[in-house]
Amino acid sequence: MKEEQLSLLLKSSSKFPPPLGVKLSYGTSGFRADASILRSTVFRVGILAALRSFQTKSVIGLMITASHNVVSDNGVKVADPSGGMLTQDWEPFADSLANAADPHHLLQLINEIIKKENIPLDGTRSAEILLGRDTRPSGESLLEAAKEGVSSILGANFFDIGVVTTPQLHWMVRQRNLGLKASEADYFEQLSTSFRCLMDLVPNKSGMANTSEKLILDGANGIGGEKLEMIKESLGLVIEVRNSGKGAGVLNEKVGADFVQKEKILPRSFGPNDVGFRSAEIFAVVWGFRGWIKFGGGGDRCASFDGDADRIVYFSVIQETGNKINLVDGDKILSLFALFIKEQISILQQGKDGKGGSEYHARIGVVQTAYANGASTDYLKRLGLEVMFTPTGVKYLHEQAAAYDIGIYFEANGHGTVLFSEKFLSWLEERNHELSSVSIGSEQQKAALRLVAVSKLINQAAGDALSGLLLVEAILQHMGWSVNKWSELYQDLPSRQLKVKVLDRKAVVTTNAETVAVEPPGIQEAINAEIAKYTQGRSFIRPSGTEDVVRVYAEAPTQEEADSLAKSVAHLVEGPEYLK
């Protein structure tokens, strides 16, 4: 390392002392903690991102967000050249840099990374880092720390893209590295063009009763609602955004996808006096149709984003029960996408007529985690799909999904996307081209066009609530389905999720895609004994990688049983016997 570089690093890092007595680790989705202790971590991740950019000779992303966490938390994560999450090989570097005790130790670690990864810091190249942040008040000062981190590596430059959704940052990194247009306007343009293309291909538009009704979005008081407002005029949909972040509401507080999915109740601003169910009742009286609302003909179509708009769930209001909802979670979004894509592929293959083009049997794979509702997995298997399981964290699901021609992954919490392989896309383009010369306007050509549009609409870099919402909307139109009709694809098994605060969540170690706890000793046997009290019960525990808690999940034939199984397993976790 040159003298100039050494002294620059020593000088800048002395301005960012690490918090005393805190050990941070690059968790499920980067570093997350109370924002007040994160300046040094973000500064050091800025350095890491610059090194990664030099090593890969590509644009790298750095996002300041704590996504679904409380507003006082913040976090930082890195987007790799593909636009996906930082390669897991580099996570240990992130951990060691974040926890270096002083500037000299930090320098030593940086030197080790440079040597190990053969990083050319010879002044002949430059590096570029895209910096984004969500709406958290702590974001601005942390962004300054990131800028200092990047700038303390000679030749590294940052480009501040401002307040964006996390998936926008991932998308922009991918586009930049593919040499494609990468501004926010380009992102909106790609989404709205591909969405409108899918809408133009909707069969028999006259039957679309419910999906032409208003969609009400809960923006979690974060950035997603604001971005949807910016694009909605170009979509031809009627959308009302609530919890947009412009009012008095607090980010993620009793609002947003995480709250709605875990609590299964209405978010704030969606109570009986807010949501349109009074108008639905008036409608019902006029037409003499009260039962129509209850049994799936109507009800409001609502969706919730999380704070940085990388997750989405849908719901409708259950009319009789105050704040209860009919939740349509990530598993059902996955099922809807899988059903639609499978249908288009089979139309396309039926049309294989030997008039040019090669046979191509697209391999469709579905990836879930242990949180996936058992009924969703059964449904997907009944569709004839290959279902894989990984630990929690889109970094794991994304990697698995990328092994297929079409890989569809979703966590039950609404985080996911659909990946298309380059090989499949080239075949699709070719097939589309052939069809446009031999059978223009045929069902096969429409199926090919739909699949091309889906691949452009759905974010290829990361789970994206905005693009996910538009794909759901287009498919509901295509099917002529209401949310309630969609929800009837299968009946969820009752489930319950709880969080337990313990002294050291890392004392829980799991295996088998997090379904078995191997540590602390004896706890899995105790969990098994609780499960055995129920016919067809299922439960597991795992340490969260984003919050300081152990998560408990339980599934059982009735809600009461799921609640009681979750409660007894939570007791094991919080009791003195296993985790002190």
* Residues in binding contact with ligand G16, number by CB under 6 A: 18
Active site residue 67: yes
Q: Which of 29, 368, 444, 484 binds ligand G16 (CB under 6 A)?
A: 29
Pairwise CA distance, residues 263 & 491, whole Å: 18
Q: Does 544 bind ligand G16 (CB under 6 A)?
A: yes
**Smaller CB separation from ligand G16, 300 or 329:** 329
Closest contact distance (angstroms) between CB of 462 and ligand G16 is: 9
Binding residue for ligand G16, selected from 415, 431, 496, 505, defined by CB under 6 A? 415
Distances (CA, A) of 365 to 329, 345, 401, 409, 422: 19, 13, 7, 8, 15
Query: What are the beta bridge partners of residue 59?
Result: 128
Q: How far is the CB of 508 from ligand G16 (least distance, A)?
A: 12
First-to-last alpha carbon distance for the chain, in angstroms, is 46
Nearest to 234 by CA among 183, 195, 202: 195
Asked if the peptide bond before residue 520 counts as cis, ω within 30 degrees of 0, the response is yes
Question: Minimal distance in Å, beta carbon 255 to ligand G16?
Answer: 14
**Smallest distance from ligand G16 to CB 217, Å:** 17
Q: What DSSP designation does 214 have?
A: P
Q: Which of 80, 128, 134, 411 binds ligand G16 (CB under 6 A)?
A: 411
Nearest to 410 by CA among 477, 544, 523, 314: 314
In the set 12, 13, 67, 376, the catalytic residue is 67
By the 10 Å C-beta count (0-12 exposed, 13-18 middle, 19+ buried), 19 is classed as middle
| Beta strands 73-79 and 31-34, pairing class | antiparallel
Ranges within 347-406 binding ligand G16 (CB under 6 A): 392-394
Provide, rounded to whole angstroms, the least separation between the CB of residue 311 and ligand G16.
Answer: 5
Instruction: Please select the residue that binds ligand G16; options are 5, 12, 13, 28, rule is CB under 6 A.
Output: 28
Cα(341)–Cα(345) distance, integer angstroms: 6
Nearer to ligand G16, 76 or 100 (CB): 76
Of 183, 190, 123, 185, which Cα lies nearest the Cα of 159? Answer: 183
- Convert residues 497-536 into a mask of x (bound to ligand G16 by CB under 6 A) and - (unbound): ----------------------------------------
Of 290-319, binders to ligand G16 (CB under 6 A) are: 306, 310-311
Residue 324 DSSP label: B
Query: The tokens of 174 are what?
Result: 């991918």
| Annotated binding residue 542 | yes
Q: Which residues are annotated as a binding site for substrate?
A: 411-413, 542-546, 551
Residues binding ligand G16 (CB under 6 A): 28-29, 67-68, 306, 310-311, 392-394, 411, 413, 415, 544-547, 551
Point out the residues that are catalytic: 67
Q: Which residues are annotated as a binding site?
A: 67, 306, 308, 310, 411-413, 542-546, 551
Q: Which residues are annotated as a binding site for Mg(2+)?
A: 67, 306, 308, 310
